[in-house]
Amino acid sequence: RKEVEQDPGPFNVPEGATVAFNCTYSNSASQSFFWYRQDCRKEPKLLMSVYSSGNEDGRFTAQLNRASQYISLLIRDSKLSDSATYLCAVKSGGYNKLIFGAGTRLAVHP
Protein backbone atom coordinates (compact mmCIF):
# COMPACT_ATOMS: atom_id res chain seq x y z
CA ARG A 1 0.00 0.00 0.00
CA LYS A 2 1.30 3.45 -0.86
CA GLU A 3 2.06 5.76 2.04
CA VAL A 4 -0.01 8.55 0.54
CA GLU A 5 -2.87 7.87 -1.85
CA GLN A 6 -5.03 10.12 -3.95
CA ASP A 7 -7.79 9.59 -6.48
CA PRO A 8 -6.10 10.53 -9.78
CA GLY A 9 -9.31 11.95 -11.24
CA PRO A 10 -9.81 13.82 -13.43
CA PHE A 11 -12.51 15.76 -11.70
CA ASN A 12 -14.35 17.65 -14.41
CA VAL A 13 -16.45 20.47 -12.95
CA PRO A 14 -18.14 23.58 -14.32
CA GLU A 15 -17.11 27.04 -13.27
CA GLY A 16 -18.65 28.00 -9.98
CA ALA A 17 -18.90 24.46 -8.69
CA THR A 18 -17.63 23.23 -5.35
CA VAL A 19 -15.26 20.30 -5.52
CA ALA A 20 -13.47 18.30 -2.85
CA PHE A 21 -10.53 15.91 -2.95
CA ASN A 22 -9.34 13.50 -0.32
CA CYS A 23 -5.92 12.12 0.38
CA THR A 24 -5.30 9.14 2.66
CA TYR A 25 -2.06 8.40 4.50
CA SER A 26 -0.97 5.16 6.06
CA ASN A 27 1.48 6.27 8.76
CA SER A 28 -0.47 7.19 11.87
CA ALA A 29 2.64 8.96 13.21
CA SER A 30 2.47 11.54 10.41
CA GLN A 31 2.50 15.00 11.85
CA SER A 32 2.28 17.60 9.14
CA PHE A 33 0.17 17.78 6.01
CA PHE A 34 0.18 20.02 2.99
CA TRP A 35 -1.40 20.62 -0.38
CA TYR A 36 0.70 21.53 -3.40
CA ARG A 37 -0.57 22.66 -6.77
CA GLN A 38 1.09 21.60 -10.02
CA ASP A 39 0.18 23.10 -13.37
CA CYS A 40 0.72 21.02 -16.47
CA ARG A 41 4.43 20.40 -17.09
CA LYS A 42 5.38 22.89 -14.37
CA GLU A 43 6.90 22.60 -10.94
CA PRO A 44 4.77 22.00 -7.82
CA LYS A 45 4.07 24.98 -5.59
CA LEU A 46 2.91 24.99 -2.00
CA LEU A 47 -0.80 25.83 -1.85
CA MET A 48 -1.55 25.54 1.83
CA SER A 49 -0.82 23.74 5.06
CA VAL A 50 -3.38 21.56 6.79
CA TYR A 51 -3.79 22.19 10.49
CA SER A 52 -5.61 20.03 13.00
CA SER A 53 -8.24 22.73 13.32
CA GLY A 54 -8.59 23.12 9.57
CA ASN A 55 -7.31 25.90 7.40
CA GLU A 56 -9.14 28.29 5.11
CA ASP A 57 -7.60 30.55 2.50
CA GLY A 58 -10.15 32.34 0.38
CA ARG A 59 -12.01 29.76 -1.67
CA PHE A 60 -9.81 26.93 -0.43
CA THR A 61 -10.38 24.94 2.75
CA ALA A 62 -8.13 22.16 3.97
CA GLN A 63 -9.08 19.76 6.72
CA LEU A 64 -7.48 16.89 8.60
CA ASN A 65 -9.20 13.78 9.92
CA ARG A 66 -6.69 11.94 12.07
CA ALA A 67 -9.07 9.19 13.12
CA SER A 68 -9.61 8.12 9.53
CA GLN A 69 -6.15 9.24 8.39
CA TYR A 70 -7.07 11.50 5.55
CA ILE A 71 -6.84 15.14 4.57
CA SER A 72 -9.18 16.99 2.29
CA LEU A 73 -9.12 20.04 0.05
CA LEU A 74 -12.34 21.87 -0.73
CA ILE A 75 -12.49 24.43 -3.51
CA ARG A 76 -15.53 26.68 -3.67
CA ASP A 77 -16.67 28.71 -6.65
CA SER A 78 -14.22 26.98 -9.00
CA LYS A 79 -12.43 29.13 -11.57
CA LEU A 80 -10.94 28.09 -14.88
CA SER A 81 -7.56 28.98 -13.40
CA ASP A 82 -8.01 26.31 -10.72
CA SER A 83 -7.45 23.63 -13.36
CA ALA A 84 -4.31 21.82 -12.22
CA THR A 85 -3.10 18.74 -10.41
CA TYR A 86 -3.30 18.90 -6.63
CA LEU A 87 -0.70 16.95 -4.71
CA CYS A 88 -1.00 16.15 -1.06
CA ALA A 89 2.18 15.85 0.97
CA VAL A 90 2.80 14.31 4.36
CA LYS A 91 5.72 14.83 6.70
CA SER A 92 6.30 12.18 9.31
CA GLY A 93 7.81 13.11 12.62
CA GLY A 94 11.58 12.87 12.70
CA TYR A 95 11.94 12.53 8.96
CA ASN A 96 13.35 15.39 6.96
CA LYS A 97 11.27 14.79 3.90
CA LEU A 98 7.84 14.99 2.41
CA ILE A 99 5.97 12.02 1.01
CA PHE A 100 3.86 13.09 -1.95
CA GLY A 101 0.73 11.57 -3.34
CA ALA A 102 0.48 11.01 -7.08
CA GLY A 103 -1.96 13.90 -7.41
CA THR A 104 -5.58 14.56 -8.30
CA ARG A 105 -6.27 16.29 -11.57
CA LEU A 106 -8.93 18.99 -11.66
CA ALA A 107 -10.38 20.36 -14.90
CA VAL A 108 -12.74 23.31 -14.61
CA HIS A 109 -14.74 24.03 -17.76
CA PRO A 110 -16.84 27.03 -18.80
Partner 1 sequence: EAQVTQNPRYLITVTGKKLTVTCSQNMNHEYMSWYRQDPGLGLRQIYYSMNVEVTDKGDVPEGYKVSRKEKRNFPLILESPSPNQTSLYFCASAYQRDRVHEQYFGPGTRLTVT
**Piece in contact with partner 1 (CB under 8 A), picked from 10-18, 37-45, 59-67, 76-84:** 37-45
With CB under 8 A as the contact rule, the residue among 62, 64, 89, 108 that binds partner 1 is 89
Told to check if 97 binds partner 1 by CB under 8 A, we report yes
Amino acid of residue 67: A
Told to check if 44 binds partner 1 by CB under 8 A, we report yes
With CB under 8 A as the contact rule, the residue among 9, 22, 27, 49 that binds partner 1 is 49
DSSP per-residue codes, 68-106: TTEEEEEE-S--GGG-EEEEEEEEETT-SS-EE---EEE
Told to check if 71 binds partner 1 by CB under 8 A, we report no
SS3 56: strand
Beta-bridge partners for 19 = 75
With CB under 8 A as the contact rule, the residue among 40, 43, 67, 110 that binds partner 1 is 43
Beta-bridge partners for 30 = 92
With CB under 8 A as the contact rule, the residue among 11, 34, 62, 108 that binds partner 1 is 34
- Counting every residue, how long is the chain? 110
Amino acid of residue 58: G
Binding site for partner 1 (CB under 8 A): 4, 8, 32, 34, 41-46, 49, 87, 89, 91, 96-98, 100-103
